[in-house]
Amino acid sequence: MKKVVGMGEIMIQMNPTEKGPMRYQHLFERHVAGSEGNVIIQMQRLGIQTSFITAVGLDPFGEMIISTLKSEGVDTSFVKVDPKHPTGIYFVQRSYPIPGKTKVFYYRKNSAASFISEKDIDAKIFDDVDLFFLSGITPALSKRCKKAALKAIEICVKKKIKVVFDTNIRVNLLKTKNKAFEILKPFIESAKVLFTGVGDLTFLFGKNLRESISELRKIAKNAELIIVKKGKEGSICFDVNSNTYIEYSSFPVEVEDELGAGDSFDGTFLSAMLRGYSFEKCLRYANASGAMAVSLKGDIEPLPTWKDLDLFLEVYEKSEEKLLR
């Protein structure tokens, strides 16, 4: 079985039962969520053996996160419980002021995960590991986190472990293009598989898609694959070695909550890739997974299994006969 390690912050998500302005919300659902954690849980559901590096507070929210990871089958041996700093929390505002789009209010400053340091990164964590996943959120949390992430990358390079990086820009953490380049550049340069999105590319380069990808490829010197997520317009996979690209259309669905779609996409693409599927098939499954993710509230709850994906694709691409009871 393939083995994958991820690293990042997992938080408690408070998601209102209704759409609309936050100031008028009274009832909230509690979810466990966090970009890199979502990716790892998606991969675990798709049959990949996973471990996760993070830190949570010595509080009930931290207990919820550890319990959730364990219930999904993720190895929590490298989850640190910090008695001095709290678990991060964020609130979600759905479909306002822009219908179908989600706004997030973070309460993560000085969270336990932001105090992850080089001391928490041991080379033994990466024994017999095939792939390491990281996104641009983690090194942006603090200087300590950036140093820890760079140490993890260094270990992976020495052990010849495939590094996967998603730019995953959060403007509340990386407020300017210059700041984003300062934080993200060493990770983009190290990645063998690089995920990004149209929004991230626009933020970094301010050019059209083709020109932005060209600029990104100049930085991503070690990349074998560059995958661009285009939301409703689907996705593109660039095979750098053969200098070819594959594009796959999205699956239009009604959007309940857009959060977690890119994470589900990443986890599914990587799981399909580790299965040896063609890049076209990887995109097909990943796009389907992203579509399923936006159809429900919560980041983890909608993450599909292979059986779920196959049924979605069969019904969506052929007919609804499979749904007859």
Residues tagged active-site: 263
195's enclosing H/E stretch is strand 193-197
Around Cβ 146, how many Cβ atoms within 10 Å? 18
Residue 99 tokens, joined: 């219908």
CA separation for the pair 72, 188 (Å, rounded):
29
Question: Which among 174, 172, 39 has a CA at the least distance from the CA of 103?
Answer: 172
Length of the chain in terms of residues written: 325
Residue 111, SS3? coil
Query: Would residue 160 be called left, alpha or beta, if left means φ above 0 and alpha means ψ between -120 and 50 degrees?
Result: left
Q: Specify whether the CB–CB gap between 104 and 75 falls below 8 A.
A: no
Give the C-alpha separation, 139 to 51, whole Å.
19
- Alpha carbon distance 149, 105 (integer Å): 25
Of 277, 297, 325, 298, whose CA–CA distance to 309 is shortest? 277
* 3-class DSSP state of 177: helix
Task: Count how many Cα atoms sit within 13 Å of the Cα of residue 143 in the half-sphere of its side chain.
Answer: 0
Among 266, 115, 56, which residue's Cα sits nearest to residue 67? 56
